[in-house]
C-alpha cells in the first residue's frame, strides 16, 4: 500500500464563501482554477516593486540535483559520540532542570566548532542539514532529550516557546512531540496533522529554525521532504508574477489558540533588500491549515473566506514544493535542522505498527549570531516565541501531548 498521499482525517467543513479547497491538495482543481483565472485575465504581469526577478546562491536548489553539490548529512564518529555521552553525564551531575541546558552546561569542546559551522550553513548556505548516528536505544527518554537540546544549544542557543501551558498550568513549553495520537486520544480534539498519520502538505513552522529528532521511524512511509523557497519563488516569479503579488499582500490567518481576535492579517512572502552585510533575500512563512482548517479545527465562519487567488497560490506553493523537493532519508537517531524562513517542508503519510511507531521530537530555535532579520509584521510572533523564556520556566515534556494550537479542547 502506498503511503505517499494518505489523508485519513475527514476534510474540515468549509465556511460560507470559501473557494473549493481543502487541506488535501487536489492537482486537477489547482490546474482548473489556474486556467480559469488566466482566461479571466486582468492579472499583473510584472512583479511587485522591489521583488527580484530571480534569486541566486546556494539556497536555490532542486531535489534532483542538490546532492551533486551538497552532502547534507553529518555523520557523527565514535569520538564525537563519546564526547556527547560525557556531556550527558556532566549535565546530569549538575542536578539542574532541563531548561538549563546550554552550550556551557552541555560542553562539547571538540564538536562545538563543527556545530557552529553547521549553523552558518543553515543561515548562509543551503539552509538544511542532518546530524546522523545518535545511539537512541542506549539512552533513556530523558537522556535523549538532554542530548537533543544540548547539541542544539551549540547550533542555536535560543529555544522557542511552542505552548504557553502544560498540564493546565502556565509554562514555557519549548519541546514538543510529533506522533500519531489518534489511537490514544479523543480524535475529535485533534486539529493538526502532526498528531495523525496523515500526509502533511508543504508548510513552514514558526521561528528561525525548525529541528526534528527521530526517536523512532514509522513501519512504512513518513518520508521527510524539504524544498527551497527560493527555487519555488523563481518559478512563480518567472511564470505567474501575479501570484507573487497575492503572496506578498495581507492574508487573514486564523489564530487557533484563545486570543482577543481569532485572526491576524499578514503577508506570507517577505522581501529583504540587500544591505552592506547581507544579500537580497526572500522569506516565506505560512501553514495551509490556517486558511483551510484541518480535522477538528475547521476555518471559522467569523473570518473572511480566502480568495480564489489565494486558493491558487496555496496550491501553487504545495505542488511546486513537491516538484522541487528532496527526501532527506530521515532515519532513527537523525536530527534534522532547517532554516524555516528559506526552506519549507512536508511529510508523506505513514503506517505505524504496535512495535514501530513514528516518534519525533521538535525544537523551534534561534541563533542570534547568524539569524536573518525578522519580517516586521512577524515581530509579535517572534516575541511570543523567544521573549521572556527563562531556564526555570522552560518545560521539555518527556511524553507526547497535543499543543494548544492543534487542540480543539484548548
Lowest mean pLDDT among 181-185, 314-318, 402-406: 402-406
How confident is the model over 90-102, as a mean pLDDT?
98
358-379 pLDDT per residue, tens: 789 999 999 999 999 999 999 9
Whether residue 315 contacts residue 33, with contact meaning beta carbons closer than 8 Å, is answered with yes
- How confident is the model at residue 43, as a pLDDT? 97
292-314 pLDDT per residue, tens: 987 777 888 889 999 999 999 99
Q: How confident is the model at residue 88 (pLDDT cuts 50, 70, 90)?
A: very high
Residue 329, SS3 per DSSP: coil
Lowest mean pLDDT among 3-7, 14-18, 339-343: 3-7
How confident is the model over 264-274, as a mean pLDDT?
95
Q: How confident is the model at residue 409 (pLDDT cuts 50, 70, 90)?
A: very low
Lowest mean pLDDT among 133-147, 169-183, 223-237, 278-292: 169-183
> Which one is predicted more confidently, 60 or 200?
60
Q: What is the mean pLDDT of the chain?
A: 89
* pTM for the predicted model, two decimal places: 0.90
Q: How confident is the model at residue 3 (pLDDT cuts 50, 70, 90)?
A: very low
326-339 pLDDT per residue, tens: 998 889 999 999 99
Lowest mean pLDDT among 11-25, 123-137, 217-231, 348-362: 348-362
Residue 129 has pLDDT above 50, yes or no: yes
Segments of 180-216 assigned E as strands = 200-203, 209-216
Q: Count of alpha carbons within 13 Å of 63, Cβ hemisphere only?
A: 19
213-231 pLDDT per residue, tens: 999 876 555 578 999 999 9
Whether residue 404 contacts residue 164, with contact meaning beta carbons closer than 8 Å, is answered with yes
Q: 115 Cβ partners below 8 Å, 6+ apart?
A: 108, 151, 154, 155
What is the C-alpha to C-alpha distance for residues 353 and 355, in angstroms, rounded to an integer? 5
Angle of the 141-155 helix axis to the 78-94 helix axis, nearest 10: 110
Nearest to 386 by CA among 410, 360, 370, 363: 363
Whether residue 153 contacts residue 102, with contact meaning beta carbons closer than 8 Å, is answered with yes
- How confident is the model at residue 167, as a pLDDT? 83
Amino acid at each position: 500500500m502506498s503511503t505517499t498521499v494518505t489523508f485519513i482525517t475527514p476534510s474540515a467543513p468549509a465556511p460560507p464563501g470559501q473557494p473549493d479547497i481543502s487541506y488535501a491538495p487536489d492537482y486537477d482543481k489547482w490546474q482548473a482554477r489556474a486556467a480559469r483565472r488566466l482566461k479571466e485575465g486582468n492579472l499583473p504581469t510584472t512583479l511587485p516593486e522591489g521583488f527580484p526577478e530571480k534569486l541566486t546562491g546556494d539556497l536555490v536548489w532542486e531535489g534532483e540535483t542538490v546532492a551533486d553539490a551538497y552532502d547534507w548529512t553529518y555523520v557523527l564518529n565514535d569520538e564525537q559520540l563519546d564526547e556527547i555521552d560525557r556531556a550527558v553525564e556532566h549535565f546530569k551531575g549538575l542536578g539542574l532542570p532541563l531548561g538549563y541546558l546550554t552550550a556551557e552546561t552541555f560542553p562539547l569542546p571538540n564538536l562545538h566548532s563543527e556545530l557552529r559551522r553547521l549553523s552558518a550553513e543553515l543561515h548562509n548556505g543551503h539552509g538544511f542539514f542532518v546530524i546522523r548516528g545518535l545511539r537512541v536505544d542506549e539512552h533513556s527518554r530523558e537522556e535523549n532529550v538532554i542530548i537533543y537540546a544540548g547539541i542544539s544549544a551549540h547550533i542555536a542557543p535560543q529555544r522557542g516557546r511552542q505552548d504557553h501551558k502544560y498540564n493546565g498550568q502556565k509554562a514555557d513549553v519549548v519541546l514538543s512531540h510529533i506522533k500519531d495520537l489518534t489511537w490514544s486520544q479523543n480524535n475529535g480534539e485533534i486539529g493538526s496533522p502532526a498528531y495523525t498519520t496523515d500526509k502533511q502538505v508543504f508548510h513552514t513552522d514558526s521561528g528561525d529554525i525548525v529541528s526534528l529528532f527521530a526517536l523512532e521511524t514509522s513501519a512504512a512511509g513518513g518520508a521527510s521532504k524539504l524544498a527551497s523557497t527560493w527555487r519555488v519563488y523563481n518559478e512563480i516569479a518567472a511564470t505567474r508574477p501575479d501570484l507573487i503579488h497575492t503572496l506578498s499582500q495581507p492574508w487573514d490567518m486564523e489564530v487557533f489558540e484563545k486570543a482577543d481576535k481569532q485572526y491576524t492579517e499578514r503577508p506570507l512572502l517577505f522581501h529583504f533588500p540587500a544591505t552592506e552585510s547581507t544579500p537580497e533575500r526572500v522569506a516565506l512563512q505560512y501553514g495551509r491549515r490556517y486558511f483551510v482548517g484541518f480535522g477538528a479545527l475547521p476555518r471559522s465562519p467569523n473570518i473572511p473566506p480566502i480568495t480564489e487567488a489565494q486558493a491558487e497560490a496555496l496550491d501553487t506553493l504545495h505542488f511546486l514544493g513537491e516538484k522541487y523537493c528532496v527526501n532527506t532519508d530521515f532515519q532513527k537517531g537523525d536530527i534534522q535542522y532547517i532554516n524555516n524562513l528559506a526552506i519549507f517542508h512536508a511529510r508523506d503519510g505513514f503506517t505505524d505498527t504496535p512495535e514501530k511507531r513514528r516518534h519525533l521530537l521538535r525544537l523551534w530555535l534561534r541563533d542570534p549570531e547568524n539569524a536573518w532579520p525578522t519580517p516586521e509584521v512577524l515581530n509579535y510572533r517572534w516575541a511570543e516565541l523567544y521573549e521572556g523564556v527563562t531556564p526555570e520556566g522552560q518545560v521539555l515534556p518527556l511524553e507526547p501531548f497535543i499543543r494548544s494550537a492543534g487542540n480543539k479542547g484548548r
